[in-house]
Amino acid sequence: MQPTSAAFKQQSRQAIANPVLQKALQNIRPGFQQKRAKAVAALPEFDALRDQARDLKTHVLAHLDVYLERFEAKVQESGGQVHWARTGAEACDAVLGICQAAGASLVTKGKSMVAEEIGLNSRLEGAGLTVVETDLGEYIIQLRHEMPSHIIAPALHLTKKEIAAAFMQAHVGLPEDRPLDEPRALTDEARAMLREKFLGAQVGITGANLLIAETGSTIIVTNEGNGDLTQNLPGIHIVVTSIDKVVPTLEDASTILRLLARSATGQEFSAYTTLSTGPKRRGDMDGPDEFHVVLVDNGRSSILGGPTQEVLRCIRCGACMNHCPVYAAVGGHAYGWVVPGPIGAALDPGMIGLEEAKHLPHASSFCGRCEEVCPMRIPLPKIMRYWREQTFSRKLDPAMARYGLGAWAWLARRPRLYHWATGMAARTLSLFAGRRRRFKWLPMARGWTSQRDLPAPEGRTFLAQWRAEEKRRARAGAP
């Protein structure tokens, strides 16, 4: 997909001014934060599991080639095929090739952020295929021609009202006065619409939450059951996933799964945890005739081994964005790419380039809440700081900010001059502040005063007063 992250500032401003989005974002606290907190409190070994999962994934990343090749061998052993894709375009080509070879016209698709990343839908649709998203959130945003605003809740930016309107417009032939006020009515209608697609599709595409090297299995976790119908009913199942998802064993997968749902939705386990190992075997009741795994790199191997490689531990639970006050203010679309929030700020510059994504690691107060909740203990502020250092050393930040910083640093290294200058400034500002002791507007500080008043300095600086007091004491001969 085409990123718009360079326009983050404008996009965030629009997001803050969008009342529908702001109303939808209010659901994050009860819907995600409180549920996660409850789930974590109920599992005493949660932090120990985090350590274990961090170490596990760190080990995998150090031996990624070994585990990926082991995974490939096992997929082949079970009768499936692995397609290596260096870029998003290569991955799209691989998927399209499989669809075309099968003469497919209708493709169902479970939620896959990797598929969003590589722009798979538009590639398939451009070749004449019909692609139907079957995850409810993805289905809604497909109807609205939008991109996901959250990695586990793609339609988080909408309220019931917008969803009902999208259904009214898209589902022609149904009574126009049907009630769509309740979530149940909406899901029932989507369910009925999707049922025929599930049955008619020739190819089903899913993502994967985990890949198991020892068995060649892929795992998806879902709550709607759409993933199972997508991958079991059509004759061909294509898993579109990325190279960072592999873990050595089923036991390792279980470690991560115990963290994943708790961190994401506060569930102990998601409603469905589905393992796929190869195509249907002789004697199997169901399953696809063909099983393909498209392993997407798309920039990840260039992150591997570098200063930001810890982002590759991410299991896409969304906890960081669910607890991020910046995400809560602007939502996901403002970030301009498929992975928003703190993990986006740490990951996206490495994926789409720092020139495009430079705002994202700067648009953080470094409050640290993301790192506090990350189940994989990714040091997100540290990685954002790395990108800020890159922005600075590559001179990608505004010249004015650089000059200002340079002047400040020059002054800060000259204490006498600094104290004289700040002493003057404090007294001057104090003088002009009047009786209200705050400024509603101040030239040179418009970034501040556009949003809030600036409290005035008290008058003389602490150090000036302290020095005077010490002199007075010395003169008086006091200790």
Chain residues binding another protein by CB under 8 A are 9, 12-13, 16, 29, 325-326, 329-330, 362-369, 371-372, 385, 387-393, 397, 401, 405-406, 408-409, 412-413, 415, 418-419, 422, 425-426, 435-438, 440, 445, 447-448, 450-463, 465-467
* 3-state secondary structure (DSSP) of residue 268: coil
Question: Which residue's CB is nearer to another protein, number 269 or number 420?
Answer: 420
- Answer whether 313's CB lies under 8 Å from 24's CB: no
Question: Which residue's CB is nearer to another protein, number 247 or number 456?
Answer: 456
Min dist. Cβ of residue 429 to another protein (A): 9
Neighbouring residues of 326: CB distance < 8 A, sequence distance ≥ 6: 341, 342, 363, 364, 365
| DSSP-derived secondary structure letter, 334 | G
Min dist. Cβ of residue 269 to another protein (A): 28
- Answer whether 348's CB lies under 8 Å from 362's CB: no
∠ CA 458-463-468, nearest 5°, is: 100
Question: Which residue's CB is nearer to another protein, number 51 or number 251?
Answer: 51
- 17: its two tokens: 């001014």
Question: Which residue's CB is nearer to another protein, number 16 or number 431?
Answer: 16
Question: Which residue's CB is nearer to another protein, number 100 or number 465?
Answer: 465
Question: Which residue's CB is nearer to another protein, number 86 or number 436?
Answer: 436
Min dist. Cβ of residue 441 to another protein (A): 11
Min dist. Cβ of residue 457 to another protein (A): 5
**b or e along 408-421 (b: 16 or more beta carbons within 10 Å of the residue's beta carbon)?**
eeeeeeeeeeeeee
Task: List beta partners, residue 133.
Answer: 109
Min dist. Cβ of residue 471 to another protein (A): 12
Min dist. Cβ of residue 464 to another protein (A): 8
Min dist. Cβ of residue 48 to another protein (A): 19
Length of the chain: 479
Min dist. Cβ of residue 255 to another protein (A): 25
Min dist. Cβ of residue 425 to another protein (A): 8
Question: Which residue's CB is nearer to another protein, number 127 or number 445?
Answer: 445
Question: Which residue's CB is nearer to another protein, number 211 or number 334?
Answer: 334
Other beta carbons within 10 angstroms of residue 161's beta carbon come to: 12
Question: Which residue's CB is nearer to another protein, number 269 or number 403?
Answer: 403
Min dist. Cβ of residue 438 to another protein (A): 4
* 3-state secondary structure (DSSP) of residue 343: helix
- Answer whether 132's CB lies under 8 Å from 194's CB: yes
- 290: its two tokens: 């063909």
Give the burial class of 4: count Cβ atoms within 10 A of its Cβ; 0-12 exposed, 13-18 middle, 19 or more buried. Answer: middle
Min dist. Cβ of residue 24 to another protein (A): 15
Find where tokens 């531990």 sit.
313
**b or e along 163-191 (b: 16 or more beta carbons within 10 Å of the residue's beta carbon)?**
bbebbeeeeeeeeeeeebeeeeebeebbe
Other beta carbons within 10 angstroms of residue 462's beta carbon come to: 9
Question: Which residue's CB is nearer to another protein, number 199 or number 425?
Answer: 425
CA atoms within 13 A on the CB side of 103: 0
From 431, 470, 421, 429, select the one nearest 449 (Cα to Cα).
Answer: 429
Min dist. Cβ of residue 371 to another protein (A): 8
* 3-state secondary structure (DSSP) of residue 117: helix
∠ CA 424-420-459, nearest 5°, is: 40
Neighbouring residues of 355: CB distance < 8 A, sequence distance ≥ 6: 6, 396
Give CA 209 to chain center in angstroms: 14
